[in-house]
Amino acid sequence: MEMHLDYWTTGYNGSRISYTPKGLAWLDTWGSLRYATTTAFLASVYADWSGCSAKKVETYKNFAKQQIDYALGSSGHSFLVGYGINSPKRPHHRTAHSSWADSMSVPAYHRHTLYGALVGGPDKDDSYTDDINNYINNEVACDYNAGFVGALAKLYGEYGGDPIADFKAIEEVTNDEYFVEAGINASGSNFIEIKAILNNCSGWPARMGDHLSFKYFVDITGAVKKGYTADDFTITASYNQGAAISRLLPWAEAENIYYVNVDFTKVKIYPGGQSAYKKEIQLRIAAPESMASWDHTNDYSYTGLDGVTSGKVVKTTYIPVYDAGVKVFGNEPGSSSGSSSISPVTATFDKYNPEDVSATVIYNGNTLDNIKNGTDLLVKETDYVVSDNTVTILSSYLAGKSVGKLRLTFDFSGGNDPVFTITITDSSVIPTGDLKVQAFHMNTAETVSSIAAKIRLYNTGTGDVNLSDIKLRYYYTINGEKEQQFWCDWSSAGTANVTGAFVKMKEAKSDADYYMEIGFNEASGPLSAGKSVELQVRFSKADWTNYIQTDDYSYQGTGTSYADCDKITAYLAGNLQWGIEP
C-alpha cells in the first residue's frame, strides 16, 4: 500500500504519477478525477491505520486534502455539479439534460441539476470543456463518485462544513411543457390553412401526453352579417398525424366567436425523440364558396401569425392547449382576465461580468403594474426598463444584490403573477496565495506588431519560493494563426533565466485564444519573502503581422506605472496563487 501511495505522492523508486500544472495527480484521460479522488480516499484510510509509517501520515493526509480541494475548485473551477465556483452545467448525462428530442443539442442547456455528481475531470494540462458532447472529461458515473464520497466523509469529519442553504430537490420549471407552434400554410379570399404543431416538452417530470388537444378560435361576424352560420363553414385537413377535428363550435356565440377543436386523444405524444414529442396538422377553415371574401385576420388565434409563411412556424399563446380538457398552455379569447406570462423564467447574472437581464412578456390584455422583490418595489427606469414586450432588469440593480437566487414577481393587473428567478454569481473570487502580479504596457496602441509589457512579481508569503516553480500566463487573441517568437529584454532575475512558451487554449474565449506562459529556469534562484522580481517581455508573430491588443484579456490599459493586474495569472508548483483565468 505504501509503495502505491508513494507513487501517487512523493514517488517510488524514481517513478511518480504525473501532475497537472495546477496539482491534480493525473493517471488517465478517462475519469482522471475518479483515480485521484479514490486514491485520496485510500490515503485517508491508510493514514489512520496504526501500521502506517509515522513519517508518511501527513504526506498521505495532505495528498488527500489537495486532491479533494482540486475537485471542489481550488484551481478556479469546481468539478462537482451544483457546487462551488464555475461548477459543471452540462455534464454528459441524458436525464439531467432532459432532451425532449433525444438530441444532445436540444435544448442548449440542462433542464435539471445533477447535484453532487463528479465529472470525469481535466486533461493533463488542466484543460476542461463543460460540454455535453465532451464525454471524456464531462461524463458522470457511479464509480466516479464512489471513492470521492468516502474521501469527502473523512474530510468533513476533520474540517466540518455547511450544507447548501435552502437545498431541496424541487426544481423550477424553465420552459413551457406543452405549446403549439403555428404558421400560415396557405390563404385565399375566403379560407385559411394553418400549419400547427402540438409539442410535448414536459420534464417536471417528463410524461405521456395521450389526452392532448388544442383550440383554434375564429370570428365569423363578417359571414353572419351576410346571412351565413357556423354550419356553412367547412373544416378539412390536408395533412394530419392522428387528430380528430370538429366542426366550428360556439365559444361566445353572441359575439360570433367559434373554435375548431383539434383532439389528439389516444395519440401518444411524449418527450422521447424527434418524431415522438410533436404532432402536426394542416388545418383548413373555409367560408362558403358563395361568399366572395371572409376576413380571417381578425381571428383571435390568427394573432401573431401574419407573415409567418413558407413552412415557418412560431410559438403562440393564442392557440391554447388542453390535457384531458384542462388548459395547460395559452389563453382563450376575451380573457383580459387570462394570465400573463414571461419567457424565460430563469436567468443568471455574474457580478464580475455584469450584463442586463431581459425577459419577453406576453400581456394577454393585462398591464404590468410593477415588479417586486419580496415586498420591495423596483423603480421603473432606475431598476428596470420596459420596451414593448421586453422587460430588462438593469445590471446596476442586480450588482447590488447578494450572491444566490433573486426572485422577482411580475405584478400584472390580472391573472397570475409569474416569478423571474435570477441566479446571482460572482466569478471575481481571486485565489488567496503567496504571489501577486503588477504590470503595465510599454505600447498601448490598439494595433501593434509586438505586445510588450513590464511585469513585477511579488512573493507575498512568509517563506522563500523557487522562481523555477513559478509560471505566469498572459492571455490574448492571436488575430491570425502564425508562428510566434518571445523575448525577455530585461529581468532582475537575469534575462537568460526567463523562458516563454506559446499555448493555444483548448477552449477559446472572445478575448483570449492563446496565452504566453512565462517561466524561470533553475539558475534564477529563490524569490525571498516580501521581495519582487521584474520582467520586461515582448512577443510577436514571426512575420510581424499585427495583433489587436485592446480586446485582449490581459491588456492592462493605458497606465504607465505598475498596478495590480488580476488578468495575468500566477502559479506556484502548478497551483493558482494570483489572478482570474478567462
* Catalytic residue ranges: 92, 130, 139
Angle of helix 57-72 relative to helix 142-159, nearest 10 degrees, comes to 120
**Surface-to-core class of residue 349, CB atoms within 10 Å of its CB (0-12 exposed, 13-18 middle, 19+ buried):** buried
Question: What DSSP line would sit under 430-499, residue for residue?
Answer: PP--SEEEEEEES---SEESEEEEEEEEEE-SSS-EEGGGEEEEEEE--SS---EEEEEEEETT-GGGEE
- Chain Cα centroid distance, residue 198: 28
| Measured distance CA(129)–CA(137) in Å, rounded | 7
d(CA 488, CA 534) in angstroms, rounded, equals 11
Within 10 angstroms of residue 486's Cβ, the number of other Cβ atoms is 17
Q: How are strands ordered across the β-sheet holding 376-377? A: 346-350, 419-425, 404-412, 368-373, 376-377
Q: Residues 80, 71: contact at Cβ < 8 Å?
A: yes
Retrieve residue 529's grid coordinates: 519573502
The rounded distance, in Å, linking the Cα atoms of 35 and 345 is 39
State the Cα–Cα distance between residues 60 and 58, nearest whole angstrom.
5
Q: Using an 8 Å Cβ cutoff, are 420 and 342 in contact?
A: yes
* Residue 482, C-beta contacts closer than 8 angstroms, at least 6 positions apart: 541, 542, 543, 545
- Closest Cα partner for 147 from 296, 59, 27? 27
Residues in the chain: 582
Nine cell digits for residue 504: 493555444
Please say whether the beta carbons of 469 and 573 come within 8 A.
yes
d(CA 358, CA 348): 11
Query: Which grid cell is 52?
Result: 502506517
E strand or H helix at 507, and its extent? strand 498-509
Q: How far is CA 297 from CA 82, 218, 477, in A?
A: 48, 9, 52
For Cα atoms 463, 464, 465, give the angle at the middle one, nearest 5 degrees. 120
Cα(407)–Cα(386) distance, integer angstroms? 18
What amino acid is encoded at 561 in this protein? Answer: S
End-to-end CA distance of the chain: 40
250 close to 298: Cβ distance less than 8 angstroms: no
What is the Cβ-side half-sphere exposure of residue 216, based on CA atoms within 13 angstroms?
A: 28
In the 8-state DSSP scheme, what is residue 546? Answer: P
Residue 58 backbone zone (phi > 0: left; psi -120 to 50: alpha; other: beta): alpha
